[in-house]
A and B are shown apart, each in its own frame.
Chain A
Amino acid sequence: MAEVLRRAPAGTAAGTARRRPRRPRLHVAVFVAPFFLAFALFYLAPIGYAVHQSFFRLTSSGLGLSEPVLEFAGLGNYATALTSPAFAASVGRVLVFSLIEVPVMVVAALALALLLDSARARFRAFFRVSFFLPYGVPGVIASLLWGFLYVPQTSPLIDVLAAAGLPHDFLSPQTILLSIANIATWQFAGYNMLVLIAGLQAIPQELYEAARVDGASEARIAWHVKVPLVRAPLILITVFTLIGTLQLFVEPLVLKPLTTAITSDYTPNLAAYNQAFGQADIHLASAEATLIAVMAFVISLGFLRLVNGKGNRAW
């Protein structure tokens, strides 16, 4: 994706560069340094420290009477994490969650964007605001609200579903993952819809006019003209949804007291949090946090490579 920018300034820079190789100048450093200083302190240093800690472990002698000693563990913590059935299960769980949530999210956002963008839509401003509004509700509060809607005592939803004789257990081991997916979709579908609408509005109107003159229906225009033209923003929202789903943390944490289906190591992030604060093992927690970061990074880069390999680049 750096390609986007790397290519562009070359033309302007070449002219000046030929005159004299540019020396670093003070004002450039003054502009750039504050951000990179903060970036080094609050991004690079924590990551480096966590990686470093992940290679050590505390061992106490037999009876635990003497002080535990810090010793080099190599990849020991990684092996412990990856061979722990609970952690492996949590990784599997978020992967399944991604497989459900990413398509649901992309389809929902695209459907909403196309509906709103269709020539037949009315009251666009009202609908747009209604769909976008949940983005402003923090994850914790969204999970609290849906939590109340998932519990029979407070939920009007369950009253209605039960009266209609439909299944209405949102918190069983079989349905809990879908219930969490629903919270994520509710929060971010409207935002992703806006990203797509911004892309759709960049398309020249004449293109639609031409298609209409040729006798194409609105549905055909949507599928054959609009969808291919918002390919780049579609890829963008897919990657961000993918990264988001792998980080799953707040929703299960808030829903946990409501159901036994959510364990304290339900997702990798919850497991790492529990390892650090419940078990006070920051070394294993560091290894788990590193694994989560690597997993998110590899999967999102892999996806970008996959879609960029076919046809033109997205970003």
Chain B
Amino acid sequence: MVSVEAGGGRAGRRDRAGGAGGATTGPAHRVQPATVVVLALLFAAAVYFLLPVVWVLVAATKSTADLFGTFGLWSPRPQLGANLGRLFGTGDGLFGRWVLNSFLYAGLGALAATLLSAAAGYAMAKYPFRGREALFNLVLAGVLVPSTVLALPTYLIFSQAGLTGSFWSVLLPSVVSPFGVYLARIHAHAAIPDALLESARLDGAGEYRIFFRIGLKIMSPALVTIFLFQFIGVWNNYFLPLVMLSDQRLYPVTLGLALWNSQTFRDPAFFELTVTGAAVSALLLVLTMASLQRFWRAGLTAGSVKG
């Protein structure tokens, strides 16, 4: 798989030690029973995690009849091309639109969220000001409020303002990431030396210039993590677009596939579309994630900084 190579990047020192022909098990070249047990357990876990993905990739090559009539992990009459053609052709390329929408919601939302979090986190780490800790406690409380809880109230207030049903109604709430501010502050505090900022000031740099030229650069590992977290969060968010949107052409791919799935009772042909669509969108994000995997580490460690 592609992902194995991508994973190698963040494998770290112990992987290399382990990979170097059993260096850690000593001179004995016979495989020990404990090693067999560990590998068997790891292998069983991999089968569990990969099963649904393998199933959907196989199912994406089947006709609706074969989907229900043949063994789940074997496709006797593969017709992937026909399924893909139908997937992207239905409703004037509706599926392609959904994928594009998902990338727009998640990409723009995460980009804006990262910038807002970076500026707020940087300022809260580097400038003492009155009310700072009170504001930060508010942010921490925000971390504990999950997006699912917010979706319904946000819908209620947006419908008062007449904003529901628009592209903005999904994008705007996605630009807020309290977790991002938390992470940005921790990282800025730990990684940006005050002496560096002072010397930049002595050289005559303004505060904005210092933030954009020095602050953002030093914070970049944390910023990548904030971006990825928010991207996944928005991409996976279902409740918010569900309550906000009524126009199918504005749907993200999650909402669109759920819509098709609900229509299978009316017309079984939708099974084929749903399954092929699920395979394509799962593959899309899995490939994105695998290629970005090495970026995850920095943030995960930062998130678990001990108090």
Complex Cα–Cα for A115 and B206 (A): 51
Other-chain contact of A139, B32, B172, B238, B305 (Cβ < 8 Å) = B238
Other-chain contact of B304, A233, A272, A301 (Cβ < 8 Å) = A233
Interface presence of A213 (CB below 8 A): no
**Which residue from chain B places its CB closest to the CB of A2 in the assembled complex?**
B137
**Which residue from chain B places its CB closest to the CB of A50 in the assembled complex?**
B153
Set of chain B residues within 8 Å of A171, measured between Cβ atoms: none
Complex Cα–Cα for A117 and B139 (A): 34
Other-chain contact of A125, B8, B25, B51, B207 (Cβ < 8 Å) = B8
Task: Known contacts A137-B286, A141-B278; decide if A42 and B12 are in contact (CB<8 Å).
Answer: no
Question: Contact between A46 and B153 (Cβ–Cβ < 8 Å)?
Answer: yes
**Which residue from chain A places its CB closest to the CB of B173 in the assembled complex?**
A42
**Which residue from chain A places its CB closest to the CB of B12 in the assembled complex?**
A201
Task: Known contacts A32-B135, A159-B72, A232-B304; decide if A118 and B262 are in contact (CB<8 Å).
Answer: no
Set of chain A residues within 8 Å of B156, measured between Cβ atoms: 46, 49-50, 53, 276, 282, 286
Interface presence of B84 (CB below 8 A): no
Chain A, 182-206, contact with B by CB distance < 8 Å: what is the 0/1 string? Answer: 0000100110001100110110010
Task: Known contacts A43-B142, A129-B1; decide if A141 and B51 are in contact (CB<8 Å).
Answer: no
Complex Cα–Cα for A148 and B24 (A): 43
Question: Contact between A153 and B154 (Cβ–Cβ < 8 Å)?
Answer: no
Set of chain B residues within 8 Å of A142, measured between Cβ atoms: 52
Interface presence of B178 (CB below 8 A): yes
Complex Cα–Cα for A145 and B48 (A): 13
Question: Contact between A46 and B157 (Cβ–Cβ < 8 Å)?
Answer: yes
CB distance from A214 to the nearest CB of B (A): 17
Interface presence of B249 (CB below 8 A): no
CB distance from B233 to the nearest CB of A (A): 10
Complex Cα–Cα for A282 and B140 (A): 28
CB distance from A215 to the nearest CB of B (A): 14
Task: Known contacts A1-B307, A38-B175, A141-B254; decide if A250 and B239 are in contact (CB<8 Å).
Answer: yes
Interface presence of B46 (CB below 8 A): yes
Interface presence of A9 (CB below 8 A): yes
**9-32 of chain A: CB within 8 A of chain B:** 9, 12-13, 16-17, 22, 24-25, 27-28, 30-32
**207-251 of chain A: CB within 8 A of chain B:** 218, 232-233, 236, 243-244, 247, 249-250
Complex Cα–Cα for A127 and B285 (A): 18
Interface presence of A157 (CB below 8 A): yes
Set of chain B residues within 8 Å of A146, measured between Cβ atoms: 52
**Which residue from chain A places its CB closest to the CB of B143 in the assembled complex?**
A1
Other-chain contact of A140, B15, B39, B73, B258 (Cβ < 8 Å) = B258
Set of chain A residues within 8 Å of B15, measured between Cβ atoms: 124-125
Question: Contact between A232 and B306 (Cβ–Cβ < 8 Å)?
Answer: yes
Other-chain contact of B275, A42, A50, A119, A148 (Cβ < 8 Å) = A148
Q: Which of A130, A250, A297 has the most CB of B within 10 A?
A: A130
Question: Contact between B274 and A27 (Cβ–Cβ < 8 Å)?
Answer: no
Other-chain contact of B176, A39, A244, A285 (Cβ < 8 Å) = A39
Main secondary structure, interface of A, reads helix
Question: Contact between B56 and A145 (Cβ–Cβ < 8 Å)?
Answer: yes
**Which residue from chain B places its CB closest to the CB of A15 in the assembled complex?**
B194
Chain B, 22-51, contact with A by CB distance < 8 Å: what is the 0/1 string? Answer: 001100000010110011011001101111
Complex Cα–Cα for A205 and B17 (A): 12
Set of chain A residues within 8 Å of B301, measured between Cβ atoms: 198-199, 201-202
Main secondary structure, interface of B, reads helix
Interface presence of A155 (CB below 8 A): yes
Set of chain B residues within 8 Å of A155, measured between Cβ atoms: 72
Question: Contact between A145 and B52 (Cβ–Cβ < 8 Å)?
Answer: yes
Set of chain B residues within 8 Å of A27, measured between Cβ atoms: 206-208
Question: Contact between A157 and B72 (Cβ–Cβ < 8 Å)?
Answer: yes
One of A58-66, A70-78, A95-103, A288-296 at the interface: A288-296
Set of chain A residues within 8 Å of B214, measured between Cβ atoms: none
Task: Known contacts A134-B49, A145-B52, A249-B239; decide if A127 and B254 are in contact (CB<8 Å).
Answer: no
Set of chain B residues within 8 Å of A300, measured between Cβ atoms: 144
Interface presence of A45 (CB below 8 A): yes
Interface presence of B67 (CB below 8 A): yes
Other-chain contact of B286, A3, A116, A133, A276 (Cβ < 8 Å) = A133
Complex Cα–Cα for A273 and B117 (A): 30
Question: Contact between B46 and A195 (Cβ–Cβ < 8 Å)?
Answer: no
**Which residue from chain A places its CB closest to the CB of B125 in the assembled complex?**
A9
Task: Known contacts A17-B128, A139-B238, A243-B144; decide if A31 and B120 are in contact (CB<8 Å).
Answer: yes
Other-chain contact of B127, A2, A28, A117 (Cβ < 8 Å) = A28
Question: Contact between A126 and B306 (Cβ–Cβ < 8 Å)?
Answer: no
Interface presence of B221 (CB below 8 A): no
**Which residue from chain B places its CB closest to the CB of A182 in the assembled complex?**
B48
Question: Contact between B149 and A144 (Cβ–Cβ < 8 Å)?
Answer: no
CB distance from B36 to the nearest CB of A (A): 9
Interface presence of B202 (CB below 8 A): no
Question: Contact between B135 and A36 (Cβ–Cβ < 8 Å)?
Answer: yes
B residues whose Cβ falls under 8 Å from a Cβ of A:
1, 3-4, 6-8, 11-12, 14-15, 18-19, 24-25, 32, 34-35, 38-39, 41-42, 45-46, 48-53, 55-56, 59, 67-68, 71-73, 116-117, 119-120, 122-125, 127-130, 133, 135-142, 144-146, 148-150, 152-157, 160, 172-173, 175-176, 178, 181, 185-186, 189, 194, 206-208, 211, 232, 235-236, 238-239, 243, 254-255, 257-258, 261-262, 265, 274-275, 278, 281-282, 285-286, 288-290, 293, 296-297, 300-301, 303-307
5 contacts between A and B (CB under 8 A): A46-B150, A134-B53, A146-B52, A273-B243, A276-B243
